[in-house]
Amino acid sequence: MKQIYLDNNATTAVAPEVLEAMTPFLKELWGNPSSMHVFGGQVRRHVERARRQVADFIGADQPEIVFTSCGTESNNMAILGTMEAAAERMNFITTRVEHPAVLEPARKLKGLGFNVIELDVDSYGQIDLGQLKRYLGQGPALVSIMWANNETGVIFPIREIAEMVKGAGGIMHTDAVQAAGKIPIDLRGTKADLLSLSGHKLHAPKGVAALYIRRGTRVAPLIHGGHQEFGKRGGTENVPGIVALGKACELSADSISEEAARVAALRDRLQEGILKMCPDTRVNGDQTRRLPNTLNISFLYVEGESILYHLSDLGVAASSGSACTSGSLEPSHVIRAMGVPFIAAHGSIRFSLSRYNTGDDVDYVLEHLPPIIRKLRSISPFGRM
């Protein structure tokens, strides 16, 4: 059976070039980079080369990159570590559509007595900058707003948001886990203080990520017990993963614009085909400002999980939302925050493409999806054919 992977916002395939780059560090080059002898020294320089590759990828300086184990750790360190290191108690401002890796630390802060504010979004998934400005006027704040949403692909105006936050004397963090590798990121053009990215979202393996910390930004470590990563994150470095992340960033930087255009054309063809062949469907999110690979679409009168099961039986992998919250039959918090009607929210599906998808993949989905929708609607308890 044909296998088509359209769930690349959950995780991506490891690129062959990345696997080749990291393999020696699982075999011959197994030294501890902190060791003084040759086994460590010959590995250390590869760690620092990867740090430079990541820094170049986002327009940062090498010492501003701290390697972590995943995007969730980077977000937790940015949020909890910044609040711990702050000289004064700050408010915490975020949005209702963030990934749980931001919302859960926010709830921890609230439990500790911090003032936590979650900004609303409109029906396109965009925040009201006027609302953000009003809350920034209530005192010093750490603001964490994602660069792009993992479920809808909606891109937030991070440059403008960071200008507002810094103008109000705040600290700005952005979760760029979904944006990195899909659209260009250049921190020389923004005033963000902290940025999270993750390897497995851009064709590196799971288990490695990075946190950008602008020079001069105070962040307390989450993991204690070693001097590694400039004293900001204890623990022996995941050298194969770090080398892989560096290579993945280098590969992406070389082709990101061309790749984004090609993937966006495939995504748009998929979207147009579904809308044409499946009546009573709607695209969720801002279609003018979204990631080139992401399509979130609702099929009215049917359950998203049922669609996914039928697609899976035909070898097509997609998602009803964040992989971190899959398994729940409740509509996604992102879709609900956008005010999508109940009858549509339950039938929302996310297709997320990558550099490895082809026109044949899109044709296969367009051939098999409409019959699935017709079949499910014929037995729908909502009674719509």
**Catalytic residue IDs:** 324
And the tokens for 262? 């090609």
Q: How far, in Å, CA of 312 to CA of 263, rounded? A: 22
How would DSSP label each residue in 190-253? ---SEEEEEGGGTTS-SS-EEEEE-TT-----SS-S--TGGGTS-S---HHHHHHHHHHHHHHH
How many other CB atoms are found less than 10 A from the CB of residue 327? 8
What distance in Å separates the CA atoms of residue 267 and residue 367, rounded to the nearest whole number? 15
R_g over Cα of the chain: 21
Bridge partners of 14, per DSSP, are: none
Q: Among residues 297, 285, 288, which one has the least CA distance to residue 351?
A: 297
Give, in degrees to the nearest 5, the angle at Cα 211 between 208 and 215.
145
DSSP state for residue 331 in the 8-state scheme: P
Beta bridge partners of 195: 174, 212
**In angstroms, rounded to a whole number, what is the distance separating the alpha carbons of residues 266 and 268?**
5
Judge whether 350 and 154 are in contact, CB under 8 Å.
Answer: no
Q: How far apart are CA 181 and CA 328, in angstroms?
A: 28
Which H or E run includes 350?
strand 348-352
Rounded distance between C-alpha atoms, residue 194 and residue 78, angstroms: 7
Contact criterion met (CB below 8 Å) for 1 and 11: no
